[in-house]
Amino acid sequence: MAERDDLFYKKKNAFDVLSEDEINSAYDYATEYKTFLDEAKTERKAVKFAVKMAEERGFVPYTAGMALSPGAKVYKTVEGKAIMLAVIGNKSLSEGVNIAAAHVDAPRLDLKQVPLFEDTELAYFKTHYYGGIKKYQWVTIPLALHGVVVRRDGTVVDVSIGDMEGDPVFYITDLLPHLDKDQAKKTLSEAFTGEGLNILIGSRPYGEEKDSDRIKHMVLRLLYDRYGIVEEDFLSAELEAVPAGRARDVGLDRSMIGAYGQDDRSCAFAALRAILELESPEKTAVCILTDKEEIGSDGVTGMQSAAFETFMSDLCRTQDVHLHHCFEKSFCLSADVCNAFDPNYAEVSEKSNSAKLNYGLGVLKFTGSRGKSGSSDASAETVGMLRALFEKHGVRWQMAELGKVDQGGGGTVAKYMANRGITTIDAGVPVLSMHAPYEITSKLDCYMTYKAIKAVYCG
Ligand code: MN
Ligand code: MN
């Protein structure tokens, strides 16, 4: 006769299950992860970081026609904003590959193409937000600026201001409470508009008192001195305003991490770390750090791009395997963050199906909205396979869902992988305040996500 404990499903806090050693490993892992967060404030920087780490571990850039024997480690970047890495396995690609796909873009404020203006002797940059932001969260916080400017002669200049010790930062103002009678009556989306997110960048004039646009003139002079760029060069620039500052431990117990961009760099780092440790996996392991997830995965660097097929069909060709035969035997963990249950906003979540901080990797059988619409909805067998795999590798995990039925919803790259004929499921780190300038995760959950991806690669 089965006992009560055998019959009931009971979730467990990972702190109650893990050994002291493993908890320490998770905290050590978190230290490395925070370095990644600090150095990878944009998708371009994340890819640069990945290339550097990969080359240190013996990965080489893939070139067409390269011979790939088991144990070979290759990578390929896409326009500097996405990267695919592979470690060739002992088995044929006809038996499929194990993929982890995470994204390295994050919500932010992009500068417009003609961004610079002056009003009442203050200079500003105009912005167009990228991804799903709550606009009121982006005012009155220090901002840094990262990106590239392509000059008239075609040379590319890296711009990075606000995250180095001693750098100035930038700022979007808000109304003082003494004068917010009208603002306070508005809805949040009316009170904070996209066109209102203008970044304050200067207040010191240049030239004679009778001149016009003297603040703007000073800004342009400073930019020219430092970067050799002129106003017209903004036309061919990609500059991203992101929260300035470093990743920090959160809580007296240091159990959590607070930082910008943890959606989805928590999973991106986990996937990268896991693949860099592989030597000769049974099946070929593939890690994808993609771009444009936050705006629908379109575009040449997004997960819907043929860049992925090109890379995979190149690998398949070396073994005389048809790409789609490889895909239909493959598995993809769509490694993306999920929503952690927040007691401050309990009303939007259904407790028994929500992910909790410190309960491990969150697995989402489906995402989407209004009746799972727009979701690839993984099969029971896929969840069953993961249960066994995680059991074998000691991965703490939990089921997750994005809020109550009909409360909202969202999507990931899962469906774009699944639509290719690849068995796919979503799983990732539970996050508090997802998409906020400063997001919260748990160290144990981040570490478990790394362990889960390693388990997927090792089988
Ligand atoms: Mn995400
Ligand atoms: Mn997101």
- Do the Cβ atoms of 397 and 448 come closer than 8 Å? yes
Measured distance CA(314)–CA(414) in Å, rounded = 22
- Closest by CA to 140, choosing from 171, 108, 175, 170, is 171
- Mean of pLDDT values over 413-426: 96
Ligand 1 midpoint to CA 161 (Å)? 26
Whether residue 153 sits in one domain with residue 81 = no
Whether residue 189 sits in one domain with residue 51 = no
Indicate which ligand has the atom closest to the C-alpha of 412: 1
pLDDT digits (tens, 9 = 90+) for 264-287: 999 999 999 999 999 999 999 999
pLDDT given for residue 287 in this prediction: 98
Ligand 2 midpoint to CA 101 (Å)? 14
Q: Is pLDDT at 257 greater than 90 in this prediction? A: yes
Whether residue 418 sits in one domain with residue 277 = yes
Indicate which ligand has the atom closest to the C-alpha of 108: 2
pLDDT digits (tens, 9 = 90+) for 298-315: 999 999 999 999 999 999
At 236, is the pLDDT very low, low, confident or very high (cuts 50, 70, 90)?
A: very high
Q: How high is the mean pLDDT of the chain?
A: 96
pLDDT digits (tens, 9 = 90+) for 211-226: 999 999 999 999 999 9
**pLDDT > 90 in the chain, percent:** 93
Q: Is pLDDT at 103 greater than 80 in this prediction? A: yes
Ligand 2 midpoint to CA 435 (Å)? 6
Ligand 1 midpoint to CA 368 (Å)? 13
- Please indicate, yes or no, if residue 267 is contained in any of the structural domains: yes
pLDDT given for residue 419 in this prediction: 96
Measured distance CA(307)–CA(54) in Å, rounded = 19
Between helix 443-458 and helix 262-276 the angle, nearest 10°, is: 40
Q: Is pLDDT at 295 greater than 80 in this prediction? A: yes
Measured distance CA(226)–CA(244) in Å, rounded = 20
Q: Is pLDDT at 193 greater than 80 in this prediction? A: yes
Whether residue 331 sits in one domain with residue 234 = no
At 374, is the pLDDT very low, low, confident or very high (cuts 50, 70, 90)?
A: confident
Whether residue 145 sits in one domain with residue 293 = no
Which helix or strand (DSSP H or E) is residue 123 part of? strand 122-130
The distance in angstroms from the start CA to the end CA of the chain is 33
- Measured CA to CA in angstroms, residue 242 lies from 17, 233, 262 at distances of 37, 21, 13
Q: Is pLDDT at 16 greater than 80 in this prediction? A: yes
Last residue of a domain, one of 243, 275, 296: 243
Indicate which ligand has the atom closest to the C-alpha of 434: 2
- Please indicate, yes or no, if residue 252 is contained in any of the structural domains: no
Side-chain-facing half-sphere of 355: CA atoms under 13 Å: 29
Measured distance CA(379)–CA(457) in Å, rounded = 20
Ligand 1 midpoint to CA 91 (Å)? 32
Whether residue 324 sits in one domain with residue 219 = no
Measured distance CA(419)–CA(374) in Å, rounded = 11
- Please indicate, yes or no, if residue 392 is contained in any of the structural domains: yes
- Please indicate, yes or no, if residue 75 is contained in any of the structural domains: yes
Ligand 1 midpoint to CA 257 (Å)? 17
Whether residue 440 sits in one domain with residue 311 = yes
pLDDT given for residue 65 in this prediction: 84
- Please indicate, yes or no, if residue 225 is contained in any of the structural domains: yes
Q: 100: how many CB neighbours lie within 10 A of its CB?
A: 29
Q: Is pLDDT at 140 greater than 90 in this prediction? A: yes
Measured distance CA(448)–CA(280) in Å, rounded = 22
Ligand 1 midpoint to CA 294 (Å)? 7
Indicate which ligand has the atom closest to the C-alpha of 131: 2
Whether residue 87 sits in one domain with residue 9 = yes
Q: Is pLDDT at 1 greater than 80 in this prediction? A: no
Ligand 2 midpoint to CA 303 (Å)? 14
pLDDT given for residue 407 in this prediction: 86
Indicate which ligand has the atom closest to the C-alpha of 290: 1
Ligand 2 midpoint to CA 390 (Å)? 25
Indicate which ligand has the atom closest to the C-alpha of 336: 1
Number of domains in the chain: 2
- Mean of pLDDT values over 414-435: 97
pLDDT digits (tens, 9 = 90+) for 34-88: 999 999 999 999 999 999 999 999 999 999 889 899 999 999 999 999 999 999 9
CB under 8 Å to 345, separation ≥6 — which residues? none
pLDDT given for residue 249 in this prediction: 98
Ligand 2 midpoint to CA 182 (Å)? 32
- Do the Cβ atoms of 431 and 337 come closer than 8 Å? yes
Q: Which two tokens stand for residue 95?
A: 């038996």
Judged by DSSP in three states, 260 sits in coil
- Please indicate, yes or no, if residue 368 is contained in any of the structural domains: yes
Ligand 2 midpoint to CA 264 (Å)? 7
Indicate which ligand has the atom closest to the C-alpha of 338: 1
Judged by DSSP in three states, 143 sits in strand
Whether residue 127 sits in one domain with residue 96 = no
Q: Is pLDDT at 116 greater than 80 in this prediction? A: yes
Ligand 2 midpoint to CA 73 (Å)? 30
- Do the Cβ atoms of 355 and 378 come closer than 8 Å? no
- CATH code, domain carrying 77: 3.40.630.10
Instruction: Tell me which amino acid residue 7 is.
Output: L
Indicate which ligand has the atom closest to the C-alpha of 294: 2
Measured distance CA(358)–CA(377) in Å, rounded = 25
Ligand 2 midpoint to CA 263 (Å)? 5
Domain that holds residue 237: 108-243
**pLDDT > 70 in the chain, percent:** 100
Ligand 1 midpoint to CA 411 (Å)? 8
Q: Which two tokens stand for residue 117?
A: 């203006």
Indicate which ligand has the atom closest to the C-alpha of 413: 1
For the question of whether the overall pTM of this predicted structure is more than 0.95, the answer is yes
At 375, is the pLDDT very low, low, confident or very high (cuts 50, 70, 90)?
A: confident
pLDDT given for residue 410 in this prediction: 86
- Please indicate, yes or no, if residue 248 is contained in any of the structural domains: no
Whether residue 239 sits in one domain with residue 217 = yes
- Please indicate, yes or no, if residue 43 is contained in any of the structural domains: yes
Q: How far is CA 132 from the centre of its chain?
A: 13
CA angle 293, 294, 300 (to 5 degrees): 45
Pairing of strands 423-428, 409-410: unpaired
Q: From the DSSP assignment, how many helices (H) and strands (E) are in the chain? A: 11, 22
Indicate which ligand has the atom closest to the C-alpha of 428: 1
Indicate which ligand has the atom closest to the C-alpha of 102: 1
Helices (H), 115-233: 188-191, 214-227
pLDDT given for residue 365 in this prediction: 92
Q: Is the peptide bond before 377 cis (omega within 30 degrees of 0)?
A: no
Whether residue 178 sits in one domain with residue 56 = no
Q: Is pLDDT at 155 greater than 90 in this prediction? A: yes
Kindly provide the residue ranges of all beta strands, DSSP E only, lying in 277-353, ordered along the sequence: 284-290, 331-335, 338-339
Ligand 1 midpoint to CA 339 (Å)? 10
Whether residue 160 sits in one domain with residue 65 = no
- Do the Cβ atoms of 279 and 457 come closer than 8 Å? no
pLDDT given for residue 241 in this prediction: 98
